[in-house]
Amino acid sequence: MPKLRVLSGDEVVRILHSFGFAPVSRRGSHIKLQRKLPNGSRQSLTVPLHREMDRGTLLAIYRQALRFIPEDELRSRFYID
């Protein structure tokens, strides 16, 4: 069974950046990422910039990202096979 990786907030931001998400604002230790689609709609995710994210937080971000990114592209970056 695959295991969730241990990732920092910066690493998650880099992963999401590779899918076209860019920082639009920051408040305290949280950064808001957005990407604009060709039809003009926007997709947003918020990531806490912690050194090591709790597994529950990381899993929640992963599930939210699945709304916008296909699982086969995202899974290998969040899980160890």
Q: Which residue has the tokens 């995710």?
A: 45
pLDDT(77) > 80: yes
Looking up tokens 């529950």, which residue turns up? 56
Helix spans in 2-78 (H): 9-17, 55-65, 71-78
* Alpha carbon distance 39, 28 (integer Å): 31
pLDDT at 1 (0 to 100): 73
pLDDT digits (tens, 9 = 90+) for 13-59: 999 999 999 999 999 999 999 999 999 999 999 999 999 999 999 99
pLDDT in the model for residue 2: 84
Confidence of residue 9 (pLDDT cuts 50, 70, 90): very high
